[in-house]
Each structure stands twice: as structure tokens, then as C-alpha cells.
Amino acid sequence: MNLLYCTQKLLKDIGQIPQELEEPPFNSQLGNWYANLLRISRKKIILFTNEKTLFSFLGEGTKSSSLMVKTLLLAGMRSYLLAEGIKDSLVESLLLEYQELGFAKTNNRRILGSMNDIASLFDYSIASRGGFDYCNLVEITKNINQAPMKFLKYRCASDCIHEIFDASMGLPKYGRICE
């Protein structure tokens, strides 16, 4: 089972009790995800960030429940990975690995620090384009995932995502599977 590590604020908002981890979670190609509840432009937003690549995207949630959070995660993974140029068949097989998803407390302060930086980038980018109603969230997300991050040794999340999928296809390190 893969895990979604949630901040206390998000766990409280969705009324979810975190699981106690007795054994290490199953790791898919991308590993586990982190989630934080934000307010941007007066809207309740969930920031999802991958633990291995820091690949991040936003999900807008008006009602908070664990089912809604899982739905936002899977829908966001599908749309933003496809927007990155990852092949549809690879995305669909990846999503199958996340059908069983557990909720746990965050446990990595370095990822949370990176998420705070990413949240600031999203907040500024959305505000500078006039708010949610006037911005292109896919374009903003792609730009933010192109930012070099110290956590990734100054590589960007987008390149890390492509490296993982390229390796699963047996392609050379910088060979692209983009169409």
C-alpha cells in the first residue's frame, strides 16, 4: 500500500486518523506522496508533492474527506503527468498502484520545507495572473516543476519524473519518452 503523508492541518480537516506504520509501505515507481492544506485566493487548496521527485500540483477541494483527497491525487497525477508528456499507458499503470492508499502523518521535514517553497511559488504565480479564475494552472504547474530544487541536488522535478519513467522503459538516462 502506498501512503499519502498529510500535515496535521489536512488530517484534521478531513477527519482522518493517521495509520500507525508497523511495516514499511509498498513503494511504487514514484513512491509516496505528501499533502498539505493551503488557502490561495480564498479557496481551499491541497498541495500534493511526490517524495522522490518533488513533482507537485494543486487540487481544489471544497468538501474535505479522505475519498475526495484520494480522488484529487489520482486525477491530478493523471492530468499533470500527461501534461508532462508521459505516455498514457505508463500513467494508467502507475495509477493502478495507488488504488489502495493509506494516510499517515508527515515524517520528513526536508520535504515539508520544500513544499513550503513550492506553495509560495504557486501562491505568487496565481496571484500575479489575477487569481484562479484568470490563470492557466497547467502552465503554472509545469513552470514550477521546472524550478531547480536543492533537495534534488539542483535538478528540477520534471527531469526527475522523466528519468524515473525512462528507466522503467529501459531508455538511456536522458532519453525522453515524450511524444
pLDDT profile of the chain (179 residues), mean per 10: 91 85 69 93 92 94 81 95 93 91 92 96 94 92 95 93 82 46
Check residue 148 and give its pLDDT.
Answer: 94
Q: Give the three cell numbers for residue 116.
A: 513550503
Check residue 179 and give its pLDDT.
Answer: 30
What does DSSP assign to residue 65?
-
pTM attached to this predicted model: 0.90
Residue 122 and residue 143 in contact, taking contact as beta carbons nearer than 8 Å = no
Measured distance CA(176)–CA(123) in Å, rounded = 30
Residue 34 and residue 14 in contact, taking contact as beta carbons nearer than 8 Å = no
**CA Rg, the chain, in Å?**
16
Check residue 24 and give its pLDDT.
Answer: 60
Check residue 176 and give its pLDDT.
Answer: 42
The reply to whether CATH 3.30.420 applies to domain 2-168 is yes
Check residue 156 and give its pLDDT.
Answer: 95
The neighbour count for residue 169, using CB atoms within 10 Å, is 10
H-helix or E-strand spanning residue 139: helix 137-144
Residue 46 and residue 36 in contact, taking contact as beta carbons nearer than 8 Å = yes
Pairing of strands 33-40, 148-149: unpaired
